[in-house]
């Protein structure tokens, strides 16, 4: 898990370093999953990336954190099975 978080941090830092290029090409960064399950430092990096790309409309870069997305999908499946 530590390796996955380190990879996520490096990708998020990459977005910050290249924020001018992201703005030039109007890339909007969105992150899927339950972010509260992530460490605070990763949440902060995500918030910065989403914030500086918020108004870009040409292209959307979706990022999903598999563990949190898996948790969300399991929650939805559980809710649907009740119906």
pLDDT class of 83 with cuts at 50, 70, 90: very low
d(CA 63, CA 83): 30
Residue indicated by tokens 């790309």: 53
List the domain boundaries for the chain.
Answer: 2-82
Q: Whole-prediction pTM value? A: 0.70
Structure tokens, 34: 């339950």
Q: Each residue of 18-41: pLDDT tens digit?
A: 999 999 999 999 988 778 878 898
């Amino acid at each position: 898990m530590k390796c996955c978080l380190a990879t996520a941090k490096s990708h998020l830092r990459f977005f910050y370093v290249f924020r001018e290029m992201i703005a030039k090409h109007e890339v909007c960064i969105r992150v899927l999953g339950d972010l509260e399950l992530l460490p605070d430092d990763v949440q902060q990096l995500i918030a910065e990336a989403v914030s500086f790309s918020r108004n870009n409309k040409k292209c959307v870069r979706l990022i999903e954190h598999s563990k949190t997305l898996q948790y969300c999908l399991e929650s939805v499946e559980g809710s649907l099975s009740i119906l």
